[in-house]
């Protein structure tokens, strides 16, 4: 059975216990922050920060409201990152989530380039030239797999207001629709269950009291068309070019070696003739 997370911003107090729990469970280091005139910190996702709560202040009928958005991997069913990953480091788990096998990551950065939610992050070591991508694994990292052990993800477990719920995706979809109906009955005409259908269905769904763009979410996220060309044309072509390059190098070596041996035999023959003469 597919699992999911349901996030209700109306219940979120922006305590950011989820951010702390995510870092603690996944052994991610602290990130230096500075005052930017906002309660929101840090300013963006990083290789050490896989989840953050974004703050938005919006005006409604002359009043200002806080809107909070959970920013992390959305675990798409039709995931662009899985499509373009050349090494298989990104895969779909049987529960529906996008898992990440860091040892297989080549650091190419295609996952971030094509992600419609801009959530993967990577950092290159200037000494070694190596880079590794980082993103939310839903606490399913090998050796730190809470889900396999029967526990909720750390962010869900730490939420004091139940703004985050973890369970069967079908059940959470039904609950999300009920909450949307309740919001619409109270006058929130733009209320919307985000993630129920987007990209084949997200495994992190949001109960939005307004349209997605008000919360900083893409209204109609799509897999970039270039991912289809990458998977079906460019990537196979790249492998073919690489194979042809190796074949060409091999033939070049054989020809060069044959030429060298022929030259050596000719030189020895000439030396022998000169010695006899």
pLDDT of residue 277 exceeding 60, the answer is: no
10 within 8 A of 209, measured Cβ to Cβ: yes
pLDDT, tens digit (0-9, with 9 covering 90-100), for 241-270: 455 555 555 666 555 566 656 666 665 665
Percent of the chain with pLDDT over 70: 82
Q: Give the pLDDT score at 82.
A: 95
pLDDT, tens digit (0-9, with 9 covering 90-100), for 70-93: 999 999 999 999 999 999 999 999
pLDDT, tens digit (0-9, with 9 covering 90-100), for 3-33: 999 999 999 999 999 999 999 999 998 888 8
Number of other residues whose CB lies within 10 A of the CB of residue 41: 16
Q: Count CA atoms closer than 13 A to 15's CA, side-chain side.
A: 15
What is the number of residues in the chain?
Answer: 277
Categorize the per-residue pLDDT at 210 as very low, low, confident or very high, splitting at 50, 70 and 90: very high
Categorize the per-residue pLDDT at 1 as very low, low, confident or very high, splitting at 50, 70 and 90: confident
208 within 8 A of 193, measured Cβ to Cβ: yes
Q: Calculate mean pLDDT across residues 115-130.
A: 87
Q: Calculate mean pLDDT across residues 200-226.
A: 94
Q: Give the pLDDT score at 124.
A: 81
Q: What's the rounded Cα separation, in Å, for the pair 167 and 151?
A: 11
Q: Count CA atoms closer than 13 A to 40's CA, side-chain side.
A: 16
- Measured between alpha carbons, how far apart are the two ends of the chain, in Å? 90
pTM of the model: 0.81
Categorize the per-residue pLDDT at 224 as very low, low, confident or very high, splitting at 50, 70 and 90: confident
Categorize the per-residue pLDDT at 274 as very low, low, confident or very high, splitting at 50, 70 and 90: low
> pLDDT averaged over the chain?
87
Q: Give the pLDDT score at 5.
A: 98
222: which strand partners?
none
Element (DSSP H or E) covering residue 89 = none
> Under 8 Å CB-to-CB from 231, ≥6 apart: which residues?
83, 84
Per the structure block, which two tokens stand in for 62? Answer: 């002359």
Closest of 50, 98, 90 to residue 70, by C-alpha = 50
């Amino acid at each position: 059975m597919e699992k999911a997370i349901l996030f209700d911003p109306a219940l979120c107090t922006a305590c950011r216990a989820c951010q702390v729990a995510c870092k603690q469970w996944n052994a991610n280091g602290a990130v230096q922050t500075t005052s930017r005139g906002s309660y929101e910190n840090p300013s963006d996702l990083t290789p050490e920060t896989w989840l953050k709560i974004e703050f938005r202040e919006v005006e409604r009928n002359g009043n200002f409201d806080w809107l909070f958005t959970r920013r992390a991997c959305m675990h798409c069913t039709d995931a662009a990152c899985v499509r373009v990953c050349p090494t298989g480091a990104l895969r779909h788990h049987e529960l529906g989530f996008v898992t990440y096998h860091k040892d297989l990551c080549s650091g190419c950065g295609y996952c971030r380039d094509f992600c419609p939610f801009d959530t993967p992050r990577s950092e290159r070591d200037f000494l070694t030239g190596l880079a590794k991508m980082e993103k939310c694994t839903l606490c399913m990292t090998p050796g730190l797999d809470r889900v396999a052990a029967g526990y909720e993800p750390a962010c869900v477990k730490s939420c004091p207001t139940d703004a985050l719920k973890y369970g069967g995706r079908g059940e959470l979809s039904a609950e999300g629709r009920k909450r949307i109906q309740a919001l619409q009955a109270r006058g929130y005409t733009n209320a919307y269950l985000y993630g129920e259908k987007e990209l084949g269905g997200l495994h992190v769904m949001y109960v939005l009291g307004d349209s997605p763009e008000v919360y900083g979410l893409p209204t109609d996220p799509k897999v970039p068309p270039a991912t289809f060309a990458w998977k079906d044309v460019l990537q196979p072509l790249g492998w073919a070019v690489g194979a042809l390059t190796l074949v060409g190098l091999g033939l070049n070596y054989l020809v060069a070696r044959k030429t060298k041996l022929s030259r050596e035999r000719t030189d020895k023959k000439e030396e022998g003739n000169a010695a006899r003469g």
